[in-house]
């Protein structure tokens, strides 16, 4: 059977390859480990579902090779609905399962676009009395930042285009692509 995704044909161009993601994830993990070398209490990784699921899995494993011990929590929030622009209205679809008071939290984000989701999330985590809250985001679109949010670790700055793959979806599809790319225009016309 030929190797390749069902979805390859819908991709106009690849923005970041699988190899680039792998290398960058290791780099970010080394950086975070070095900065937290004395965090004996460990780090609490908070994954923002669903988009960050691939990055969380790869980043947590990479961190495990170098870093302090980690625990994982998952939150799901919604700010996009079915469309491709942030509404700014954030809904919690799945909350944290436990108390994070006194924990050193690292939010693991897929992409920061307007920054509205993250800005809301940081306030929320701080209101739950985390000892510290930092953010690692695999992608950031610098042109689109509407609110200033402190993102300590950024993987790639990408252009202000809607992208899919490596966890990022369009109407729940394309998440399983191992790379990140831009959809062909006719995909939107079809749906």
Q: Catalytic site residues?
A: 113
Judged by CB under 6 A, the chain residues 41 through 60 that form the site for ligand 5GP are 48, 51
Per the CB < 8 A criterion, the answer to whether 162 and 84 are in contact is yes
Binding mask 62-81 toward ligand 5GP (x if CB under 6 A, else -) reads -----------------xx-
Backbone phi and psi for residue 36, each to the nearest 5 degrees, phi listed first:
-120, 30
- Nearer residue to ligand 5GP within complex by CB, 20 or 39: 20
Size of the site for ligand 5GP (CB under 6 A): 21
Q: Does the footprint of ligand 5GP cover residue 112 (CB under 6 A)?
A: yes
Backbone phi and psi for residue 39, each to the nearest 5 degrees, phi listed first:
-80, 75
Distance between CA atoms of residues 55 and 108, nearest Å: 8
Q: How far is the CB of 147 from ligand 5GP (least distance, A)?
A: 9
- The one among 31, 39, 70, 86 contacting ligand 5GP by CB under 6 A: 86
- The one among 132, 154, 169, 173 contacting ligand 5GP by CB under 6 A: 169
Q: How far is the CB of 32 from ligand 5GP (least distance, A)?
A: 19
Q: How far is the CB of 6 from ligand 5GP (least distance, A)?
A: 17
Angle between the N-to-C axes of helices 53-66 and 18-35, in degrees from 0 to 180, rounded to the nearest 10: 50
Q: Does the footprint of ligand 5GP cover residue 113 (CB under 6 A)?
A: yes
SS3 call for 185:
helix
Q: Does the footprint of ligand 5GP cover residue 168 (CB under 6 A)?
A: yes
HEC per residue, 114-175: CCHHHHHHHHHHHHCCCCEEEEEEEEECHHHCCCCCCCCEEEEECCCCCEEECCECECCECC
Q: Does the footprint of ligand 5GP cover residue 25 (CB under 6 A)?
A: no
Q: In the complex, which residues of this chain contact ligand 5GP (CB under 6 A)?
A: 48, 51, 79-80, 86, 109-118, 162-164, 168-170
């Amino acid at each position: 059977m030929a190797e390749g995704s069902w979805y390859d044909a819908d991709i106009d161009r690849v923005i970041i390859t699988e190899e680039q993601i792998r290398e960058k994830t290791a780099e970010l993990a080394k950086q975070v480990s070095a900065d937290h070398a004395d965090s004996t209490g460990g780090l609490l990784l908070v994954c923002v579902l669903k988009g960050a699921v691939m990055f969380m899995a790869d980043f947590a494993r990479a961190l495990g090779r170098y870093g302090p011990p980690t625990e994982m929590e998952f939150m799901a929030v919604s700010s996009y609905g079915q469309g491709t622009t942030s509404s700014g209205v954030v809904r919690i679809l799945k909350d944290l399962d436990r108390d994070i008071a006194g924990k050193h939290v690292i939010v693991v984000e897929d992409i920061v676009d307007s920054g509205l989701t993250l800005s809301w999330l940081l306030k929320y985590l701080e209101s739950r009395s985390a000892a510290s809250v930092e953010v690692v985001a695999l992608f950031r679109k610098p042109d689109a930042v509407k609110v200033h949010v402190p993102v300590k670790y950024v993987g790639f700055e990408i252009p202000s285009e809607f992208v899919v793959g490596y966890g990022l979806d369009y109407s729940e599809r394309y998440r399983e692509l191992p790379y990140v790319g831009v959809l062909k225009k006719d995909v939107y016309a079809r749906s």
